[in-house]
Structure 1
Amino acid sequence: MSRDRRLRRKTRLVDRQDEREVLAEFLKAVRGGESRALVLRGDPGVGKTALLEYLGEQATGCRVMRVAGVQSEVELAFAGVHQLCLPMLDRLDRLPAPQRDALQVAFGLAEGPVPERFLVGLAVLSLLSEAAEEQPLICVVDDQHWIDRASALSLGFVARRLGADPVGIVFGTRSPRDELAGLPELHVTGLPEADARILLESALHGPLDEQVRDQIVAETRGNPLALLELPRGLTQTQLAGGFGLPGVVSLSARIEDSFRRQLEALPPESRRLLQLAAAEPSGDTSLVWRAADRLGIAIQAETAGLAEFGAQVSFRHPMLRSAAYLSAPEHDRRAAHLALAEVTDRTIDPDRRAWHLSQAATGPDEELADDLEQSAMRAQARGGLSAAAAFLQRAAALTVDPSRRADRMLAAAQTHVQAGEFGTALELLAMARVDPLDELQSARIDLLYAEIDFASGLGGEAPALLLKAARRLEPLDADLASDTYLTAWLAALLAGRSATSADLAEVSAAVQARTPPAHPLGLPEILLSALTLLVTRGPATAAPVLREVVERFTATGIPAKDDLQWGWFAQATASALLDYTPWRTILERQVHVCREVGALDRLPVMLGALGTATVWSGDFAAAELLDAEADAVCEATGSPAAPYTALALVCMRGDEANAVPLIETVISEATAGGQGIAVAYANWTAAILYNGLGRYGEALAAATASSEDAPGLYVSLWALPELVEAAAHSGETGIARDALSRFAAASRAVGADFGLGLEARCRALLSEGELAEDLFAEAIERLARTPLRPELARAHLLYGEWLRGQDRRADARTQVRTAHELFADLGMAAFAERARRELLATGERVRHTVEAAGALTAKEALIARLAREGRTNSEIGTQLFISARTVEWHLRNIFSKLGIASRRELGAALAEQKRALPSA
């Protein structure tokens, strides 16, 4: 797709020395093999386009690719990305299959599942990297504020993921949108007074009174476009005394007024030609000529330099295009769109044709509304949510039947919610309420309001709103009601004690009290039944349904769509069974599926959950790799990183100096956001930290707070063994026995070694004599059959401490020595020190043996491990959302640090490092 091109002429910059130096450094870095991103921001006409053209002219030895946003095409999905990639589409075959498929679907070149937008971004990054193999690449994106949303997100992703590729990407924008958050910025302002005078004089064709000149310079505030354009279209008489420059309107408005005056000075035929060209965003000159012929407009009309008609239409400035379009009377504008629709191929470009027809419509048109709805479906299939919403919104405006109009308005609002555009969605919901609504439509409005609250992070309010919507939907749409109840359950779990009303118990009770659906239960219903039964009736009653869910999600052949949609709930059911292996299996598959399809919005959540499970197994190096990957994903998407894996790591390691500030930060931010489950998680890990340090009072307080968030479920369930240990050491046996009772209800429901081993260890702490010894032995035996090495080590330690209390020092030394060796091997410094002190108490001397960290960074260690596993650079880049060239750059650094020369030596080099990552 093409765009407005500025009329090509050598760019003459007046001053701009500071900006030119920044751009020169930018080019120097890219020519030197580095990547760069830069955002030029400033008011309309301040000179961003001139600087971008200057950059292109100075980029000798580089390939320059240009994208320019067009206001009228802002809702056409991936239009900007298509413009950038069009010259490189012959390289599509070089991309990994998932990236290639995603890009082809996004461009409408193939059919397939809706592509994840981040996978499209990664495909664009790979194409740019491929092109940069031949020569350094400069990508110039002008008028980013008018780039379609899907393209803006993809290009922002690319700008953040540029690594070792000689690629530079520069954005020109009036006000940076959130897609560019965090990128380096250069604020472009008006020219200094002396330079403004020089530029103004270059635009004048006769003498001008000095006082008038000063007035123009002052009122334009050095804005170059204003200095060049405001005098145009004004006679010397109008300029005399400055009477042609009233200062009561904005500078942008005055520039547009100047453009309108220049348009009004043209012959009517010429003006109509420019107005027609302005209505066609593709810039296709042949299309404009055909439409002009239909309207009887002579194509030889003089345009006075305001636009050129070459291979594509080029306006002198985007504001001129806008002024031309808006200057047309409404009937002429509709006629232009109708003519353009008639010459646009229905087969090749049905969506652009439908859009032109919708702008030409004079009133409701049901057939056209149907066409727009089909366009929305195609846009959504390509991943263009904003474009789909725009088509649906226009379809609603053209719909005759009030009920169908409301349906389309609600569909548009729903699509905006999915795109994260909550403000627009709220506006549409308010508009939808104007029409008479049936009960289902009214309930859907309630649901959308609730979903916006939930997605906006208003954790405390969301459960009640979602529950209300689910109840209203129940007699109207059973499937939608089930989905909504499940979302309400999740919202209540996440809110925990922060829920202002409708907590987990209330949501679960409401689900159990309703009439079950008559049709066979699908996955959402089975999940809903299992999770709500767990809350209302307890783990023993819920266990059969929980096992059914786990069996489904650990079996082969489950569709990726179901994995993505319901996998988080499935892993929650597995964790409730206290059976580690299926829980870990579900989490690993979730992560794999998210990686495969590029579901970067879900991937950090699943990486965090898998990171927790991995920390629990004692494989801290692997957990750090997962944490590094999650950080890479969040960096790529610009979303905040949730530090749960990092929190579990520092607390398991006993790293108090780093753990305490992190715990406090998580609790503070989660409390403010109404995310009770995050507070519970921080308190659970804090209890581990303080139990390791032997500060049982602090451990007791943290474990108590965590266990009360969602009693007997998820993180609150995990906190109970910590609570038993802390309470037992603090002499609070009543608290310890109550916690044990709650934990045993879950552990015995299924009878897995994970749960039963922890239960036996807790019960031993509250027992005496032979019974206690038998329970410690059982705990060690059961936990030894699981991957949970930290819990096994803790069982040995607690057994040894008990034995010393029985004055059996020799037996105690055996158990504590085993625990100390395990802790030291794992890197659990606080527990290792606790075991060392216990060994000293038994009369044995022992040195500190927790090993030092290795030299590789977290990202380098992750890349090294993936390379050791035989992954190609392209495969590693796909997983970490960087280019293959950047992977190669990292590998060279890794080889240098490890003192090796090739991938073949990685296995041995990494094996020499007990832990290849720095301590958290």
Structure 2
Amino acid sequence: MFASTHGRDAPPMLLTAAKRLERLDSTLARQTYLDAFAAALFAGRLAAPGGSVQDVAAAVLAADWQPADGTPPAASELLLDGLAVLIAQGLTAGAPLLRTALEAFLAQSLSEQDELRWLWLACRVARSLGYDQWWDELTDRQVHLARRYGALSVLPIALTERFTAQLFAGDIDSASALLAEADAVIKVTGNQLGPHIAFLLAAWRGNEADTLALIESSRQDVTTRGEGLWLVATEWTSAVFFNGLGRYQDALVAAERAAQQPHELGLSTWVWPELIEAAARSGHPDRATTAMQQLTEVAATTGTDWTLGVAARSRALLTDDQHAEALYRDAIDRLSRTRIRVAQARTHLLYGEWLRRQGRRVDAREQLRAAHEGFTRIGMGAYAERARRELVATGETVRKRSGDIDEDQLTSQEAQIAQLAAQGHTNPEIGALLFISARTVEWHLRKVFTKLGITSRRQLRTALPDTLHTVSS
């Protein structure tokens, strides 16, 4: 994909080509404009002069198209028009057009080429506008399509988007498998697109050292390659992570950096709830005003339970005590009807924290238990610990269940990798056995060494718990 492999230089090059094609072939011109949009989204703030999403939108709206032949517009054409209006005229004007485009992607019989080329962009639109069911369906379809046709240039993109959908849904096991597959594809093809999702998984699990190291490494990498889209991802992830740790001032700084790029399309919508929570909890509610207005506009325009639920929760953080409870309950009710289990657990947590501060310990425990169980089930370590501390503050003793894993214990995948390494297998051999890349094996082994307090593979056989020596490979 040219748009995703030429960094900051691709958008102006594609935009120039599209303008030249307008009088020659309007269909090809529109496809090239959509390519230019894709390139501009990848490059983000790092795009070369004349290649921003605003530049592309202005050119699309000013284009002198040849008259249509009367056939209904293709899904990709609807997507192009919707994106141009969204960027140039705002959400209220652009969102209905983008909804029509998404409906076309779901209903029209598209060619394999068109699906492989444009589904990823439709997925990002669905995520940005809060259509969780469509996001699930489109990401799943894109991965299956890319696998079936062996489209290795598209597969990392498809896996990345599906990975994010599974994380939001709270299925960390499926997300981990998608990460390993993306890593393997990247290793085989040499395509550097997509390895940055490892930092998001680390943040979800709540390991501070791993998360901050991976975020910093990714930030440097994508800046070099001109992929500004991933800078927004690292900033949003940092905000999520710091909010989980209760480091609200750090979360606010990261969220405000991400919010400076409102046209990123995908994560930009979900930066606003992080900014609002961080601002409210750090004592700077005035810094959440613009974010709340934008989130309210998204919710009012799309009307999905996901956007309406998160908007209600965010508004509760900024309102007086008289109205907060009704907003929290509305948020929980709406989010319970979505796939987004992470948003539901976070709402239980915030509501429980509010109840405890109102002196309603019994009511708070109900919400905090739901949050703690939810975060534990979906593997969000920092948020689970935050919920546990709140429960303890209500006077409840939080006992570990027999299936719980302590922070210093190995996960099942870490244990399997450690056992194979202790048997003398190399990283490539372990990767082949487990269908992951050697780089992923190395990453897990570093975590194993830290947890076991060792520095080399030679120490594994004596450092591993006795129960692991019987694990079958």
Q: Does the TM-score normalized on the shorter chain lie above 0.5? A: yes
Distance (whole Å) between structure 2 residues aligned to residue 820 and residue 844 of structure 1: 12
- Alignment partner, residue 577 of structure 1: 129
2:44–2:264 Cα contact (<8 Å) kept:
no
Distance (whole Å) between structure 2 residues aligned to residue 597 and residue 498 of structure 1: 32
Shift of 1:832: 1.1
CA shift digits 1:402-448 (9 cap, x unpaired): xxxxxxxxxxxxxxxx8xxxxxxxxxxxxxxxxxxxxxxxxxxxxxx
Q: After superposition, where does 1:443-522 map in structure 2 within 5 Å?
A: 457=6, 459-502=7-50, 503-519=52-68, 520=71, 521-522=73-74
1:837 partner SS: helix
1:804–1:812 Cα contact (<8 Å) kept:
yes
2:412 counterpart letter in structure 1: A
Shift of 1:455: 6.1
Distance (whole Å) between structure 1 residues aligned to residue 28 and residue 108 of structure 2: 27
Q: After superposition, where does 1:322-341 map in structure 2 within 5 Å?
A: none
Distance of aligned partners of 1:711 and 1:528 in 2 relative to their CA distance in 1, 3 Å threshold: closer
2:24 counterpart letter in structure 1: L
1:497–1:710 Cα contact (<8 Å) kept:
no
2:316–2:325 Cα contact (<8 Å) kept:
yes
Distance (whole Å) between structure 1 residues aligned to residue 436 and residue 412 of structure 2: 23
Kindly name which structure, 1 or 2, has the bigger radius of gyration based on alpha carbons: 1
1:800 partner SS: helix
- Alignment partner, residue 229 of structure 2: 677
Shift of 1:633: 1.6
Quick check: which one's helix share is greater? 2
Q: After superposition, where does 1:662-811 map in structure 2 within 5 Å?
A: 662-711=214-263, 713-811=265-363
Shift of 1:640: 3.2
Structure 2 length-normalised TM: 0.82
> How many residue pairs get matched?
414
Distance (whole Å) between structure 2 residues aligned to residue 615 and residue 692 of structure 1: 15
2:412 partner SS: coil
Distance of aligned partners of 1:486 and 1:592 in 2 relative to their CA distance in 1, 3 Å threshold: same
1:460 partner SS: helix
Distance (whole Å) between structure 2 residues aligned to residue 858 and residue 665 of structure 1: 26
2:169–2:340 Cα contact (<8 Å) kept:
yes
CA shift digits 1:85-130 (9 cap, x unpaired): xxxxxxxxxxxxxxxxxxxxxxxxxxxxxxxxxxxxxxxxxxxxxx
1:746–1:755 Cα contact (<8 Å) kept:
yes
Distance of aligned partners of 1:838 and 1:725 in 2 relative to their CA distance in 1, 3 Å threshold: same
Distance (whole Å) between structure 1 residues aligned to residue 181 and residue 415 of structure 2: 9
Distance of aligned partners of 1:456 and 1:642 in 2 relative to their CA distance in 1, 3 Å threshold: closer
Between 1 and 2, higher relative CO (CA 8 Å, sep ≥ 6) is seen in 2
Distance (whole Å) between structure 2 residues aligned to residue 834 and residue 622 of structure 1: 24
Distance (whole Å) between structure 1 residues aligned to residue 214 and residue 412 of structure 2: 24
Distance of aligned partners of 1:455 and 1:733 in 2 relative to their CA distance in 1, 3 Å threshold: closer
1:518 counterpart letter in structure 2: P
1:476 partner SS: coil
Match of 1:614 among 166, 171, 174: 166
2:19 counterpart letter in structure 1: R
Q: After superposition, where does 1:876-891 map in structure 2 within 5 Å?
A: none
Distance (whole Å) between structure 2 residues aligned to residue 468 and residue 712 of structure 1: 22
- Alignment partner, residue 545 of structure 1: 97
> Which ranges of structure 1 fall in alignment gaps of 5 or more residues?
1-417, 419-450, 861-876, 883-915
Q: After superposition, where does 1:341-356 map in structure 2 within 5 Å?
A: none
Shift of 1:620: 0.2
Distance of aligned partners of 1:712 and 1:631 in 2 relative to their CA distance in 1, 3 Å threshold: closer
Shift of 1:809: 2.1
CA shift digits 1:139-158 (9 cap, x unpaired): xxxxxxxxxxxxxxxxxxxx
Distance (whole Å) between structure 2 residues aligned to residue 640 and residue 460 of structure 1: 15
Q: After superposition, where does 1:167-316 map in structure 2 within 5 Å?
A: none
- Alignment partner, residue 158 of structure 1: none
Distance of aligned partners of 1:881 and 1:678 in 2 relative to their CA distance in 1, 3 Å threshold: closer
Distance (whole Å) between structure 2 residues aligned to residue 549 and residue 641 of structure 1: 26
Q: After superposition, where does 1:28-39 map in structure 2 within 5 Å?
A: none
Match of 1:567 among 116, 119, 129: 119
Distance (whole Å) between structure 2 residues aligned to residue 798 and residue 814 of structure 1: 12
Distance of aligned partners of 1:859 and 1:754 in 2 relative to their CA distance in 1, 3 Å threshold: farther
CA shift digits 1:858-906 (9 cap, x unpaired): 999xxxxxxxxxxxxxxxx9xx799xxxxxxxxxxxxxxxxxxxxxxxx
Distance (whole Å) between structure 1 residues aligned to residue 144 and residue 27 of structure 2: 28
1:855 counterpart letter in structure 2: S
- Alignment partner, residue 389 of structure 2: 837
1:837 counterpart letter in structure 2: R
Shift of 1:839: 1.5
Distance of aligned partners of 1:562 and 1:627 in 2 relative to their CA distance in 1, 3 Å threshold: same
1:737 counterpart letter in structure 2: T
2:285 counterpart letter in structure 1: T
Shift of 1:854: 4.5
Shift of 1:709: 2.2
Distance (whole Å) between structure 2 residues aligned to residue 853 and residue 641 of structure 1: 29
Q: After superposition, where does 1:381-400 map in structure 2 within 5 Å?
A: none
- Alignment partner, residue 525 of structure 1: 77
Distance of aligned partners of 1:556 and 1:524 in 2 relative to their CA distance in 1, 3 Å threshold: closer
- Alignment partner, residue 217 of structure 1: none
2:199–2:211 Cα contact (<8 Å) kept:
yes
Distance (whole Å) between structure 2 residues aligned to residue 855 and residue 584 of structure 1: 27
2:369 aligned with 1:820: no
2:146 counterpart letter in structure 1: C
Distance (whole Å) between structure 2 residues aligned to residue 751 and residue 698 of structure 1: 31
Shift of 1:853: 5.1
2:55 counterpart letter in structure 1: E
Q: After superposition, where does 1:588-599 map in structure 2 within 5 Å?
A: 588-599=140-151
2:349–2:387 Cα contact (<8 Å) kept:
yes
Shift of 1:658: 0.9
- Alignment partner, residue 855 of structure 1: 412
Distance (whole Å) between structure 1 residues aligned to residue 162 and residue 116 of structure 2: 15
1:777 partner SS: helix
- Alignment partner, residue 300 of structure 1: none
Shift of 1:641: 6.0
Distance (whole Å) between structure 1 residues aligned to residue 380 and residue 103 of structure 2: 34
2:120–2:161 Cα contact (<8 Å) kept:
no
Distance of aligned partners of 1:472 and 1:565 in 2 relative to their CA distance in 1, 3 Å threshold: same
2:175 aligned with 1:623: yes
Distance (whole Å) between structure 2 residues aligned to residue 562 and residue 460 of structure 1: 24
Shift of 1:848: 5.3
CA shift digits 1:17-42 (9 cap, x unpaired): xxxxxxxxxxxxxxxxxxxxxxxxxx
Q: After superposition, where does 1:115-130 map in structure 2 within 5 Å?
A: none
| Alignment RMSD (CA, Å) | 2.5
1:631–1:641 Cα contact (<8 Å) kept:
no
Distance of aligned partners of 1:517 and 1:548 in 2 relative to their CA distance in 1, 3 Å threshold: farther
Distance of aligned partners of 1:531 and 1:482 in 2 relative to their CA distance in 1, 3 Å threshold: same
Structure 1 length-normalised TM: 0.43
Of all paired residues, the percent bearing the same amino acid is 43
1:687–1:699 Cα contact (<8 Å) kept:
yes
1:562 partner SS: helix
Distance (whole Å) between structure 2 residues aligned to residue 518 and residue 605 of structure 1: 34
2:75–2:108 Cα contact (<8 Å) kept:
no
